[in-house]
Structure 1
Amino acid sequence: MNRVNVVGTSGSGKSTFSQQLAAKLGSPCLEMDALYWKPDWGEPDDDELFAKLQVALEATTSWVLDGNYTRTIPIKWATTDTVIWLDYSFSRTLFQAVRRAFRRSLSGEELWPGTGNVETFRKSFFSTDSIILWTLKTYRRNRLKYEKMIADPQ
């Protein structure tokens, strides 16, 4: 287990699990969100994201990669030797997403160094860009997607 991708719905605990696993393996932990988000919540185009991901994955011989971003699967799974799917119940996942959003909105912590991106109470709980709303909308879809992928012998 040298190149691991941890996947799951927002709020499933990917970041926490990935950091702990990376520490145990002595490997760097790479976070897809850190590669994706630009300052002021800017979003890269696919070419920019794919290039950043490729550079990050090639920078070391082992890593734990935290995150989904389905369109990046051909790049990240080309060299991934293990995929870990965190598949917790909807209630647990939603609880964890709400708890994290609340904690982050209170702390005002910058999520990814150099971006200035922080989760505010308004953005987390009263916005169409809410991570909680995202969790509600994507939980079932992600579960079906990963069930299908697991069933696929390729």
Structure 2
Amino acid sequence: MPLLDATAPPPSRPCRILVAGTSGSGKTTLAGRLGAALGIPHVELDGLHHGPNWTPRASFADDVDRFSAQPAWVTEWQYRAVRPLLAERADLMVWLDLPRATVMRQVAARTLRRRWRREVLWNGNIEPPLHTVFTDPAHIVRWAWSTHPLTAQRVAEAVARRPEFPVIRLTARREVDAWVRQLRPVE
């Protein structure tokens, strides 16, 4: 199936939805909106993955296997260990293919806000000190920059494995908003 754009109506009654995109593109925000619009659970993968002190939780893959076996869910498409399983079980992918400048503005603003407010994230974690953007190659801002082109590759690989897999490609915030307005709750 070719990639569909924002003008394409959603497939009838999508129940298992992945939101793909670079870190900071708005995957979690969109996944939450989709869950609310469709009346299906949103499972935040970061909450399953990150344990205290940013350590990966040992039960992560099992937790993902368990929730993704359910009949309805929406989640972010991330983490190499579970990406193939999620792509196999999903019936729709929504790809946030936003320009790098937009993503960088969003991830930088989010990181600054979280750090400034010392927002508690998953399992008591908070964003590291801002200076670590210069010292930590895996800092989320640097990660978003370096991995931005990889999402297109990953989406293409998923479609190659499942040619019938519908992928909605959204390239701007206005497209996201227009597309979400078309959704109706799953019955």
Residues 67 and 117 (structure 1 numbering): CA distance in 2 closer, same or farther, change over 3 Å?
A: farther
Q: Distance in 1 between matches of 2:160 and 2:66?
A: 30
Aligned with 1:122: secondary structure? coil
Contact preservation (8 Å) 2:17, 2:90: yes
Partner of 1:49: 60
Contact preservation (8 Å) 1:6, 1:85: yes
Q: Which of 89, 106, 113 is 1:103 aligned to?
A: 113
Please tell me whether residue 133 in structure 1 is matched to residue 142 in structure 2.
Answer: yes
The one-character-per-residue Cα deviations of 1:29-72 (angstroms, maximum 9, x if unpaired) are 11111111111111245xx32211112223x4211112312331
Q: Distance in 1 between matches of 2:32 and 2:68?
A: 16
Contact preservation (8 Å) 2:19, 2:75: yes
Please tell me whether residue 17 in structure 1 is matched to residue 25 in structure 2.
Answer: no
Q: Distance in 2 between matches of 1:74 and 1:130?
A: 25
In the TM superposition, structure 1's runs of 4+ consecutive aligned residues that sit over 2 Å from their partners are: 120-127, 141-154
Q: Equivalent residues in 2 for 1:57-136 (5 A)?
A: 57-58=68-69, 60-112=70-122, 115-122=123-130, 125-128=133-136, 129-136=138-145
Contact preservation (8 Å) 1:29, 1:66: no
The CA RMSD measured in Å over matched residues stands at 2.0
Shift of 1:148: 4.3
- Normalising by structure 1, we get a TM-score of 0.85
Q: Name the one with the larger helix percent.
A: 1
- Normalising by structure 2, we get a TM-score of 0.72
Shift of 1:123: 6.3
The structure, 1 or 2, with the larger RCO (C-alpha pairs under 8 Å, 6+ apart) is 2
Structure 1 residue ranges without an equivalent (≥5): none
**Greater Rg by CA:** 2
Matching residue's letter, 2:65: Q
Structure 2 residue ranges without an equivalent (≥5): 1-13, 165-187
Partner of 2:20: 7
Q: Distance in 2 between matches of 1:149 and 1:75?
A: 11
The one-character-per-residue Cα deviations of 1:68-111 (angstroms, maximum 9, x if unpaired) are 12331332123211111110001001111101101110111111
Contact preservation (8 Å) 1:123, 1:130: no
Matching residue's letter, 2:29: T
